[in-house]
Amino acid sequence: MPPIKKTKPKRNKSRAIVSKFGAREIDSFVNDFATMSLKGNVDSKTGLVYDDRMVEHHCLFDPDYPECPQRFSHSLERCRNYGLIDRCHKLQSRPATSDELLLQHDSEYIELVKGTSSADDEHLTNLSTKFDAVYFHPATYDLSLLSAGCTIDLATDIATGKLKNGMAIIRPPGHHALKDKACGYCYFNNVAIAAKHIIDNLKMQRILIVDWDVHHGQATQYAFYDDPRVLYFSIHRYENGAMWPNLRESNYDYIGIGKGMGFNVNVPLNKIGLGNSEYLAIFQQILMPIAYEFSPELVIVSAGYDAAIGCQEGEMEVTPACYAHLTSMLMSLANGKICVVLEGGYCLKSLSEGVALTLRTLLGDPCPLIGSIAEPDASAVETILNVINAHRPFWKCLQFQGTTQSVDLDIYSDTVSKKVDILEDNDWPNHKTTFEYVGVPPEEPFPLSGFYPVQSEAVKVELAKRIDELISKTDLLFPTQRTCIAYDKRMALHRNLQEIHPEKPERLMAIVTRLEEAELLQRCKLLESRMSTEEELALIHRKEHVQEMKDTETMKPREMLKVAEKFRSIFLCHDSYRSSLLAVGSVLQIVDEVVSGRSQNGAAAVRPPGHHAENDEACGFCIFNNVALAAKYALDKHELQRILILDWDVHHGNGIQNSFYDDPRVLYISIHRYNNGGFFPSWKNANYNYVGKGRGEGFNVNIPWNTVGLGDADYLAAFTNIVLPIAYQFDPQLVLISAGFDAARGDFLGNCKVSPEGYATMTQLLCGLANGKVILTLEGGYNLRALSASFAMCVKVLLGDSFVSPPPGPGPCDSAIQSINNVISAHKKFWSCLKYQVNLPALKVENEEGKSELVQGAEGGIPSSLTEDFAQLNLTISAEDEYDSFAAYAVIPKTDCPHLKFVDSLMKTFNLDVSTSKCSRCNEMQENWICILCHEVYCGRYINGHMLDHYEENTAHCLAISLSDLSSWCYVCDSYIHDENILTSIKEVLHEKKFGHPPPKPSLS
């Protein structure tokens, strides 16, 4: 914060940089939208649809046929055993109409299936030989109509907001049903029909279909292969075409045609025995990045459970509990609108358990622990890289691999116009994409039985034993109380008595008020606050530091000011010590509450913040390190062994890092602005190459941003590429979030663009860890509206509510991609999950003139076929949404400083070496400012205060610019100042002299 008159400017966190990318950078979320979206529809429920008559469909000629009625009855029974059905809103089943079926199927084929209702057994058996892996029963037609009708109604109610989410436990399944043929146990394509119904009737433009059935849903692929409104994503066993349905088009290079190019994503698995680590890697490396960039309005899951352990058809190793995690990640999309539709799954134990745990997750119960994730299999890594290479011309989010100069096979038949430069040379290994197809599709007449795999009794017994053991070890207990919260109005007594300061009491009041207005506070368990003891503080802090802070209670103001000025960016008053004790004690209360199982998760609205506080000194508005103390308390008192601290405050949490730098029990991950060491706290140990030491090596992960303006896409890219893979391998027992909201859009201390929805999305992803034991603790955040909206959105997630997803837009920026790659390079030797840093072949693609050209990746933004659609969205501020942008600033710059009239273009020609400039009087190199009029450099008040002395000696020299952050100050006006016509050009010159290049141009991305 700048000084009041007669104090000296210093290098400080609390500066305001008001640049030419000002007012219109702030989105309309800071208006009434935030409260409206926070309230949401808390009464909306999880829907469930089924019909008991669905057991009537069975095979007349083979009692061992895999697609049997027990699949349905066992799944429902398991849900009943867990008490899930009574918690859902039950939809009335109904048959699909002829018009609805015609959205996907030919009328002649519909009539053929209809005719089976009155056919005799012999006719049904003969008809079955004309279709691949199909049997007919007199009830087949009616029950297939029910399956389709149930899916349509459930998906429609979710899409329209009548339901939060839902599951259709139905049979027959649908994703293999072709336009004019039954296929693979399927008669009508339930999911495709529902998606087309919603597109036609609700005019939705972006639907994501995730097909995790172990067999490729070829019919769904065909239905939308040229349609950019539907992103079809299939994970399936392929084995180079040897796995049914044995189709060449199930491979990764089938990406869609025409406008649909890039919207068909096949992830073909070429090995059996793959499990949790591979499926999570596919989600983290491909599905979730593309989905965030696509930003669906609805997610439909073709949920087959035949990749689950024990299924004879899949021969995979996915545990039932893993499906809960996959579902939880998808719930961060489409405002939580996710419709899960049962497809396959033929091991009754793992099928029924997977169905139940999926439904349980939709109901908001925490994801069960699945243990540390193993290194992904090499064959899956190869597939993931092949898929990325095939799709990176279309998706900005898939730009983290390098590019080789070699030309790969032609795999595209349509036109692609986007192109980027080949990445700089690196020492990464080169990945070679390969094609092999050994499949032989079956032909008519098709066998009636014996075509499906059969397990021996010994194998069945062994698998059943393994599944039972998994179920018995899966802890599904969770507290009846969802979210606890701690705050105390006495923390507002901590204030800066010398000047207006961004870390002000109103921050706490704004949060509490917003929670009350959104009716969230009333739904939380309010814990009684308490003061921490000196013994608890000693877990992290030296007793000398504690005593010095304690002594401030009785100090005279002048003495207290001298103590504060010993530290970087600290203010003190007589109530600071007690407020700090309350902050620490409140966080420890939540630790006790959550770890002991009385509440599922918690939020601490506390101040002063803590993550900069070192063991022996206060720093950066922080007196005691709240989160570091919470972690050490949980380790010592509750005997936890693995704690994840995720710090998304825009400033590096130096205090937390130093507290656990050699401790492998605490994984500290910080996402922060670094600006090559130029951003507070401006220490080099905030860079990516500081990874921990000794036994803690690899457990300190810094993700440093080196530019301004980073937003949701960049933070989510950090999550999918680094945070989630490492966190799942670490397998924490508790997640602590150092939740600073100064990277929020509109906060000019951070100058970033993370939305409240972005923070909510990150919270949702973290809630999949540690059995949902997540504690969010306030750190920074100085735009009161952005702060309160973002904090409340996170609490909304903790309470299990749906939330508004981030809007569609461009993927991560080039600078973020570089930073993320630097982190991966530094940590891949410690974490086997970081397997994807390679060079991929350039692809040869036909351009619009029919000539070949090399394409390495998308330049940025969403695929071109969606550009026009997205341009119609309300992504800019309308006239009625505009407001005085400075009204929400934590530090309001003065825009009409009369003393700027003395400034001309002198600063454009001076020859000062800004990067090495020392104070003209004491040679200090930190906290320095430059006089705009005479170009002399002096230090600010946190050093020796010589810039103030310079002004007092010559009061005409009242204007100064910080060489650290380019904020500008007028001593006469006693305020930060800004003038777009005068100061912007000066700051551009200083920026170029300091960093060797012009400042980044403003962007609305």
pLDDT tens digits, residue range 134-173?
999 999 999 999 999 999 999 999 999 999 999 999 999 9
* Tokens (6 digits) for 520: 């969230």
Residue-wise pLDDT for 433-444, tens only, equals 888 899 998 888
Angle at 66 between CA 61 and CA 69, to 5 degrees: 80
* Tokens (6 digits) for 322: 């893993």
User: Nearest-CA neighbor of 760 among 803, 722, 719, 712?
Assistant: 803
> For strand 207-211 and strand 338-342, is the pairing parallel, antiparallel, or unpaired?
unpaired
Cα 747 to Cα 492, 515, 883, 889: the distances in Å are 21, 20, 15, 7
Residues 566-592, mean pLDDT to the nearest whole number: 97
5: pLDDT strictly greater than 80? no
316: pLDDT strictly greater than 70? yes
More confident position, 399 or 949: 399
Residues 90-96, mean pLDDT to the nearest whole number: 98
**In angstroms, rounded to a whole number, what is the distance separating the alpha carbons of residues 669 and 698?**
10
**In angstroms, rounded to a whole number, what is the distance separating the alpha carbons of residues 410 and 661?**
49
661: pLDDT strictly greater than 80? yes
> Given its phi and psi angles, is residue 23 left (phi above 0), alpha (psi -120 to 50 degrees) or beta?
alpha
862: pLDDT strictly greater than 70? no
Cα 368 to Cα 145, 365, 699, 773, 822: the distances in Å are 35, 9, 24, 11, 32
Secondary structure of 480-521 as H, E, C letters? CEEEEEECCHHHHHCCCCCCCCCCCCHHHHHHHHHHHHCCCH
588: helix, strand or coil: helix
> H or E element: which one contains 209?
strand 207-211
User: Nearest-CA neighbor of 752 among 793, 711, 718?
Assistant: 711
DSSP string, 377-438: PHHHHHHHHHHHHHHTTT-GGG--SEEEEEE------S------PPPPP--PPBP-------
915: pLDDT strictly greater than 80? no
Q: Which residue has the tokens 């905030």?
A: 686
328: helix, strand or coil: helix
104: pLDDT strictly greater than 90? yes
1001: pLDDT strictly greater than 90? no
881: pLDDT strictly greater than 80? no
User: Nearest-CA neighbor of 620 among 561, 681, 679, 532?
Assistant: 681
pLDDT on residue 858: 61
Residues 61-78, mean pLDDT to the nearest whole number: 97
Residues 458-475, mean pLDDT to the nearest whole number: 95
pLDDT on residue 955: 81
**In angstroms, rounded to a whole number, what is the distance separating the alpha carbons of residues 876 and 890?**
23
- For the chain, the residue count is 1005
Q: Considering only CA atoms, give the Rg of the chain.
A: 30
265: pLDDT strictly greater than 90? yes
Residue-wise pLDDT for 978-992, tens only, equals 877 778 777 777 777
* Residue 995: burial class (beta carbons within 10 Å; 0-12, 13-18, 19+): middle
User: Nearest-CA neighbor of 661 among 685, 692, 691, 702?
Assistant: 692
658: pLDDT strictly greater than 80? yes
Q: Give me the percent of the chain exceeding a pLDDT of 90.
A: 75
Count of helices and strands (H, E) across the chain: 29, 24
Positions annotated as catalytic residues are 176, 612
**In angstroms, rounded to a whole number, what is the distance separating the alpha carbons of residues 89 and 152?**
16
Give the bridge partners for 711, in sequence order.
753
Contacts of 425 (CB under 8 A, 6+ apart): none
* Tokens (6 digits) for 558: 């002048």
User: Nearest-CA neighbor of 599 among 515, 478, 722?
Assistant: 478
Angle at 606 between CA 601 and CA 609, to 5 degrees: 115
Question: Cβ(864)–Cβ(417) under 8 Å?
Answer: yes
More confident position, 983 or 727: 727
Q: Which residue has the tokens 């040897």?
A: 242
Residue-wise pLDDT for 507-517, tens only, equals 999 999 999 99
What is the 8-class DSSP label of residue 287?
Answer: I
78: pLDDT strictly greater than 80? yes
> Amino acid letter at 44?
S
Give the confidence band of 914 by pLDDT, cuts at 50, 70, 90: low
**In angstroms, rounded to a whole number, what is the distance separating the alpha carbons of residues 477 and 479?**
7
**In angstroms, rounded to a whole number, what is the distance separating the alpha carbons of residues 906 and 890?**
31
63-67, 349-353, 828-832, 971-975: least confidently modelled range: 971-975
pLDDT on residue 589: 98
Residues 581-585, mean pLDDT to the nearest whole number: 98
Residues 416-442, mean pLDDT to the nearest whole number: 72
pTM score? 0.84
